[in-house]
Structure 1
Amino acid sequence: MTNIKRPEWAQKTALMRDYYDHEWGVICHDDRQLFEMLSLETYQIGLSWQTVLNKRNAFEAAFHQFEIEKVAAMTAQDVTQLLQDPAIIRNRRKIESTIHNAQVVRRIQHEFGSLDHYLWHLVDHKVQRVVLAANEQLPPKTKMSEAAAKRLKLDGFKLVGPVTVYSFMQATGMVNARL
């Protein structure tokens, strides 16, 4: 994949290039992967995506490969242990929200059949295309991500503001912003 046109952020390191080339913006319909990406996006709040990617393997180990049932069953003791793990981002609010959001996902799966169906319903089950003028930067949020974040919060999700949700939607292919 040597002729891929990448945005500036995706050219900074080999890890970022690989993420952009093989994962970012690829349409995702797998509940576990959707949960993982939503979780990782919450860890990016206030940090760079490079920081999160550097710790991704450690997050996968800490959160049982983001298996929703196992994360939902994690306890306060697990939170205490994770706060001691230097391999991950040790932010109590973010760790607790990952566990809480897994519990919400379980309810969503029961109510809507899948996290996939619930999330893609937010974009009418159609990939949204971003059209930018030459040299125009992607906006940090849109009216669509504001509405989606509001819905996610109403349904119990935590740390899902419109910027985080828009980043998640791009990462999982709900919004096509690839060059």
Structure 2
Amino acid sequence: MTMEKFDAIYQRAAERKGGSDKLEALVSKPLSKDELAAIAEDRWLSAFSMKVFQSGISWAVVRKKWPAFEELFFQFRIEPLLMLSDEILEQKAQDPSIIRHLVKVMSIRNNAQMIYEARLTHGSFSRMVADWPAERITELWDYLKKHGDRLGGNTGPYTLRQMGVDTFILTGDVEAYLRNTGVIEGGKNTKRSLQAATEAFCQWREQSGRSMTEISQIIAYSTGDNHLQ
């Protein structure tokens, strides 16, 4: 099956959203490399941790409680968290001001370790992410899954997008589009599917001059149950 040109995808999305102006207002753009590199490492850990806790729980509930998480976990500063023993983390996991989930609380220290180790190799976790080539973005997803804790599936990619990294996300709408057009087959997280998806996004990037972040959102708006009400 011939891959659809990006212009056709864009026009369909614009029609569904009431015109180009309204579509553009919905589409977010990634940060620059310099902006990504300037992000403090504690903000990465806070973002990863929030997404971990939001898995299977109301996102609004987690956001409401997040100031308490920030206070209890030293504003997610890396070094103090690495010094916490299992016993202290178990005590913190029982604090009524947060969502009490021991396994997820333990992931905070584990992901602090991931960020610290990246710092040793790349100067900072932020610099590593900033320098990661967009055409290999799914390898960064894999890095987070392998070196982090509970960052597999869409948790890692969603956090990257939220923080301003140029990445596509295999949401339900995007995955369905890629399947219906024959870009991917089989499991969406297989090496073959991820490579095929990446190659498709790289082609659309060349055609449009847009980021993968923008393209991913425009594809989602061009399909699925998101018609303008």
Distance in structure 1 (CA, Å) of the matches to 2:124 and 2:58 = 30
Q: 2:126 aligns with which of 116, 127, 147?
A: 116
Distance across 1 between alignment mates of 2:102 and 2:127: 30
Q: Residues 1-179 of structure 1: matches in 2 within 5 Å?
A: 28=36, 29-122=39-132, 124=133, 144-145=137-138, 147-154=139-146, 156-175=147-166, 176=213
The CA deviation string for residues 19-61 of structure 1, in whole angstroms up to 9 with x for no partner, is x9xxxx7664222211211121111111232122111101101
CA shift for structure 1 position 173:
0.8
Q: Give the partner amino acid of 2:142.
A: K
SS in 2 for 1:96: helix
> What letter is aligned with 2:78?
I
Q: What is the distance in 1 between the residues matched to 2:60 and 2:152?
A: 20
Counterpart AA for 1:165: G
CA distance in 2, matches of 1:160, 1:152: 6
The 2-side partners of 1:78 and 1:32 are apart by: 20
One-letter amino acid of the counterpart of residue 171, structure 1: Q
Following superposition, the deviation at residue 6 of structure 1 comes to: 6.2
- Tell me the CA shift for residue 77 of structure 1: 2.0
Q: CA deviation at 1:84?
A: 1.6
Is the 2:41–2:77 contact (alpha carbons within 8 Å) kept by the matching residues of 1? no
The answer to whether the 8 A contact 2:145-2:156 is kept is no
Larger radius of gyration: 2
Residue 95 of structure 1, CA deviation: 0.6
CA distance in 2, matches of 1:87, 1:67: 19
Equivalent residues, number: 143
Query: How far off is 1:149 after superposition?
Result: 2.6
**Any idea what the Cα deviations from partners look like across 1:126-169, whole Å, max 9, x if unmatched?**
6x9xxxxxxxxxxxxxx945x33322233x21101131012101
5+ long unaligned stretches in structure 1: 8-19, 129-142
| Structure 1 contact 97–159 (Cα < 8 Å) conserved | yes
Give the letter for the 1:151 counterpart: Y
Identity of aligned residues (%): 24
Q: TM-score, normalised by structure 2?
A: 0.54
Counterparts of 2:63 and 2:157, CA distance in 1? 18
For the 8 Å contact 1:37–1:168, the answer to whether it is kept is yes
The offset of 1:97, in angstroms, is 0.9
3-state SS, counterpart of residue 100 of structure 1 = helix
TM-score with structure 1 length normalisation? 0.67
CA shift for structure 1 position 120:
2.6
Distance in 2, Cα, partners of 1:56 & 1:168: 15
CA distance in 1, matches of 2:65, 2:84: 20
Query: 1:68 offset after TM fit, Å?
Result: 0.7
How far 1:99 moved relative to its partner?
Answer: 0.7
